[in-house]
Amino acid sequence: MDPKITKADEEIQKIISKKRLKSVEDRRVGSEIFDEQTLKTLYKLANHGYLTVLNGAISTGKEANVLKGIHEDDSRVDSFVAVKIYRIATSDFKKMQYYIQGDPRFNVKSNNKRQLITSWVNKEYRNLLRAHEVDVNVPKPIIAMNNVLLLEFIGDDLGNPAQTVKNQPPIDVDEFLNKLLIEMNKFINEANLVHGDLSTFNILNKDEKPVIIDVSQSVVRDHPIANDLLIRDINTIFKEFKKMGASADLEEIKAALNLDIDLTT
């Protein structure tokens, strides 16, 4: 297991000890992930019935940690959810402003870090919803609140999360790439979005099917930087899958995506 995830797991257990979230609010926490505002947000989500227990880390990064949550319904049947918590202390606010500026869906003028992160979380929620509505294989968003995003858990019934393509390469690379190109086609041409950071780190391998994740930086097609991001995404996917043995060339990928674009720009 990734040592960063192991460390995050240890921090979570120190804080919640797999107890109900209602017991968390009164705990004194020094973690930059679980600051007072984040704990209040988690507590509110628990009170509204979205979340019952936090139970371990799925992934960890500089800007956000993804945790495994458990939701218990009225019949006391447990189901898993993914809980993405953006970290106020270490987020790259210049990058966030770069991707938000020019997006007609958002009018963020404040330099307040917490407000910017709230807008960033809402941006990821809306991007996921937009993609999900046209049947792109992405995690279904559940709710966004402050710096916390709840979304569909991608994994097995035992709570084991699906791995990224980087960590779990596909068995049949060409077949997997073809499936990915179908999802990218819908993402680009039906959801009218450009991912902006697409790579094997941001694609899950769920039973040999691709699931596109981490769409907070994704922009609409008419965004001023959309074309540059699209070219970068396509070239990245081509290079990374080529290393894994894919046979498709750039022109075949471009054709599969129904794009008329100069990839050398």
**Residues with active-site annotation:** 197, 214
Alpha helices in 134-222 (DSSP H): 173-189
By the 8 A CB rule, do 208 and 170 touch?
yes
Q: Which residue has the tokens 């979304």?
A: 151
Residues with Cβ within 8 Å of 114's Cβ and at least 6 positions away in sequence, in order, are 37, 88, 146, 147
Q: DSSP 3-state assignment of 127? A: helix
Report residue 167: phi and psi, to 5°.
-90, -25
Residues with Cβ within 8 Å of 143's Cβ and at least 6 positions away in sequence, in order, are 45, 50, 125, 149, 150
Distance, CA of 180 to CA of 209 (rounded, Å)? 8
Residues with Cβ within 8 Å of 167's Cβ and at least 6 positions away in sequence, in order, are none
